[in-house]
Amino acid sequence: MTPKPRIALISTRVKHKTRSDTYEIPRAYLDAVLRAGGLPVLLPACLPGAELPGLLRACEGVLLSGGGDLHPARYGQPERPEIHSIDPERDAFELALIPLALQEDKPLLAICRGAQVLNAALGGTLWWDIPSQLPEAGKHDWYPDYPRDLQAHTVRIEAGTLLARILGAQPARVNSLHHQAVRNLGAGLCVCARAEDGVIEGIELPERRFALGVQWHPECLPEDERMRGLFRAFVAAAGEMSVALSSIIY
């Protein structure tokens, strides 16, 4: 029996008033990977950087989840009042992990914050606050007072991209839980989806087998067959790497 591809996910520090800190990740990501046939493996962001190459070799794919804002210094900007929920430990961990994953050509799926960190890791920049910087744009921050599965707007998928091969060329209705977005693309990245207002909603790295970032939260849309297909395609790509590595080892 072919083993399930192991998908690395990063758990991040949560501070508590009356007990020790914990490292957590929303269950929706784990469920999405499991439904797609993968095996989630949690990497706490406190792990020493020297351990990352070995840990990454033990996994066939990497999923970067959503979360708080990336520190603006990571893309050449000063701190601003609109930026919130910065986690320096997580920033450092993810920015160290991404180049390793790309170097090894590990399938990489980056969601919301994850897409922004992927862009920054490759030298790109962000709109640090859509409402104040792009007042002409539509509403993208449909949180916290809205259901996470609210499909708030449409994205246009660029023909000929990996995302189009997975989801098809037709526009997709997506949820929207972000106030930041990709501004200038990092090295090698291309746009694979945009909102109707022009805000970048998907990026990918064509020179890699599977390196894709989406600004929405497909893990929160488990009833949407196209979003389930996105995870299946990601896990399938990781599975192909697992089979290839097995043939080398054995």
112 a catalytic residue: yes
Question: What's the CA gap between 161 and 189, in Å, rounded?
Answer: 11
Alpha-carbon distance of 114 to 147, in angstroms, equals 21
Catalytic annotation, pick one of 140, 153, 179, 217: 217
Nearest-Å Rg of the Cα atoms of the chain is 17
Note if 207 is an active site residue.
no
Rounded CA-CA distance 107/115 in Å is 14
Query: What is residue 122's DSSP assignment?
Result: T
Write a three-state SS string for 150-168. Answer: CCCEEEEECCCCHHHHHHC
**153 part of the active site:** no
Catalytic residue of the set 59, 60, 71, 112: 112
Angle ∠(182,184,189) on CA atoms, nearest 5: 80
Quick one: how far is CA 229 from the chain centroid? 16
Percent helix, percent strand, percent coil in the chain, to nearest 5: 35, 20, 45
- Contact between 42 and 6 under an 8 Å Cβ cutoff? The reply is no
Task: Please give the Cα distance from 6 to 148 (Å, whole number).
Answer: 26
> Among all residues, which ones are annotated catalytic?
112, 217, 219
